[in-house]
Amino acid sequence: MKRFKCLFAAVLLLFCLACAGWVGAVAEDGASGAAGTAPDVSLSPSAGVFSYAAEAGVLVRLISTSYDIRDDEGDPVQRVRFDLAGSGSELTMRVFNPSSNPQRFRVAFLTAEGRWESGYVQAASGANELGFSASAVDGFSGTLAAVEVLYSAFEYSGNSLIFGQMTYSGGDVAWAAENAGWQCIENPIVEAEAFFADEGTLLSRGVQAGVWYPVTFATQQDMSAYEGFSYYIDTSLGDRQVFFNKYVQERARPGETGFGEEWYLPDDGVAYYHPDGGIPFRGAANTVPAYFRGRVYCSFSAFRMPEWMTYPGNGVLDLDDTSGLIGLTFDGGLGDVRFILKDFRLETTVEEIEYEGLRQGDLRYLDDMSTYASTETVAFGWRTNWSLASPCAVTLIENEWTTSGAAGNALRIVPQTAPENPAPDPATGQTAPTNYTALEFFPVEGSADIAGSQGITFFLRNEESEPLLFGFEFDILQNGVRQRWGVKPRGRYILYDTLRGTQKLYNAPERSLYIPAGFTGWVRVDFGQFENPSWETVGGAFTTETGLAYFVINIDTLQYTGHSFVFDSLAVYTSDAGISTPFHTANTTLDQAIGGNGT
């Protein structure tokens, strides 16, 4: 509820802004689609104007969404600053002038020694690609630390200029700050795509906990011919998932008071993720996984009016309302997030994606690894987020030890030594690295449905000639808060070696599972064999009714650095299948349970 209150305030602000000027800007640039033919329409001013393609010879390519700089009636010069890292003097910038008339602005170059302003730069109507050279400015000296864009609100009251996609020849660029008089309707994070080429140092913007950062798109058109919208997002610049609320704001209709109804995509709703070069998958409506690059599709049919919404209205999402305002608001409380957001557009079709292989036998998969198309895309689901944790090399491989219930992709995991100079833990400030991996998995839909299940299972292969102590923990939700569970000392678990044909029960030596050398098969642990770690403060008895929100693999890297094991088919199971031995046959055998009937 707290989130919604913050969001509500943001929405009010944005609505005012949208009515004040942004609406007009979009209307002027002619990017709106014709309702009659209902083409896919780009609503972001940057979309359709700026491309995302990499350019040869560019050291660092800055991708930003756009800034709308508007008149605040009190400050004739609006200003936005971009911090620069590296050494160079050449900049390029794409500027979109939505007005039919030329507009001008200035650029200021900042060094440690001083500030030099360029003369006026003319931006023609429409798209402009402009270059700037600090060294060409009389008297310029020193190392360029920042660049500011200055725009006369007095001169162009009611207009706007949109700046984006800045490239700096000398290094990286990061959006830094704007003066207090400005209002940014779009308030993006700016980062460098060159991160992927290991060029330069990634600059980041620290976001403030508890603050909601809005990004709003004014449609100003009849959306009734559209099934939903999509946007392109790149979260691979950082190591954190990004939480977005999504809403549609209606204008108040005759007889309605206030601002009109707001419709939200619920947190437990679904969005459809189309990763670049990857296999589309269904995921959480409002939580974009870290390391995701691609397009996210949301359907209007999934929007709901929150229970707390008190605006009088007709209770119907009126997509024909030409005052439509679609907002994405991300949560600064998640810490230092980095992402690129662009190319927002309406979609005439939003294709639903079902998660194939969700259930098989008594297995309900949390991740069968089938959605990963390459090693790079594994990071959509599995990654080491904690800076102090020992890293591990994760590669996508084919599960060549196929058995019933396990096929296709698998992860080969090789723990590495602890990091030498890790970034501080954001919560504690600690910098001492740990000798444990923390390979984490977040269910794509936020929390996975495990209702009625008996325990947790996965496919594992110990590729070494000595045993492995394999640690893992998971979180369930207790009143929306994550609560940690780990295997209790001497907790009992099943090892079904499908290669050797043996089914065994073991007792966990401590809080880790003992995996014999060469073991290849299924591990099953009843939920009754788990307990809360001593540090857990979230109370409440174990339940499967609230969902599993997190899973983490912990391996001692002092002991197992360089050791290799294969992990696959994380699932929960729903039967009480037991082991069968030479003298004993379970009522429900593991073969029956895992092979299943495919239902």
- What own/partner pairs with CB < 8 Å and gap ≥ 24 does 529-536 have? 529/455, 529/487, 529/488, 529/491, 529/492, 529/493, 530/485, 530/486, 530/487, 530/488, 530/491, 531/485, 531/486, 531/488, 531/491, 532/483, 532/484, 532/485, 532/486, 533/473, 533/484, 533/486, 536/483, 536/484
Tokens of 539: 């109370």
Q: Is 513 in the site for other proteins (CB under 8 A)?
A: no
**Cα 137 from chain centroid?**
41
Mask: binding to other proteins, 200-239, rule CB under 8 A, as x and -? Answer: ----------------------------------------
Q: Which of 157, 149, 106, 101 is nearest to 126 (CA)?
A: 101
- What are the helix (H) ranges across 375-520? 375-378
Strands 513-515 and 455-462, by their bridges, are unpaired
Give the closest residue to 380 by CA, choosing from 439, 461, 442.
442
In whole angstroms, the minimum distance from the beta carbon of 448 to other proteins comes to 22
Residue 505 binds other proteins (CB under 8 A): yes
Nearer to other proteins, 335 or 516 (CB): 516
Q: Are strands 242-249 and 287-288 parallel, antiparallel or unpaired?
A: antiparallel
Using CB under 8 A as the binding rule, whether residue 532 contacts other proteins is answered as no
User: Measured between alpha carbons, how far is 391 from 420 in angstroms, rounded to an integer?
Assistant: 11
355 contributes a contact to other proteins by CB under 8 A: no
Give the integer Cα–Cα distance in Å for 228 and 248: 11
Cβ proximity to other proteins: between 211 and 499 the closer is: 499
Q: Which of 152, 245, 529, 574 binds other proteins (CB under 8 A)?
A: 529
Listed ranges 3-11, 43-51, 366-374, 510-518: which one lies at the site for other proteins (CB under 8 A): 510-518
Does residue number 578 form part of the binding site for other proteins (CB under 8 A)? yes
Nearest to 345 by CA among 233, 189, 192, 251: 233
Residue 373 contacts other proteins per CB under 8 A: no
Q: Does residue 526 interact with other proteins by CB under 8 A?
A: yes
Q: Is residue 336 near other proteins by the rule CB under 8 A?
A: no
User: Can residue 582 be called a binding residue for other proteins (CB under 8 A)?
Assistant: yes
**Cβ proximity to other proteins, 423 vs 505, nearer residue:** 505
Smallest gap from Cβ 594 to other proteins, in A, equals 16
By CB under 8 A, tell whether 504 contacts other proteins. Answer: yes
The residue from 102, 277, 509, 533 that contacts other proteins (CB under 8 A) is 509
Stretch that binds other proteins, among 123-131, 145-153, 313-321, 577-585 (CB under 8 A): 577-585
Residue 533 interacting with other proteins (CB under 8 A): no
Distances (CA, A) of 72 to 158, 160, 163, 309: 10, 12, 18, 31
Number of amino acids touching other proteins (CB under 8 A)? 33
**Which residues here bind other proteins, judged by CB under 8 A?**
455, 465-467, 469, 489-490, 492-494, 500, 502-507, 509-510, 514, 516-517, 525-526, 528-529, 578-579, 581-584, 586
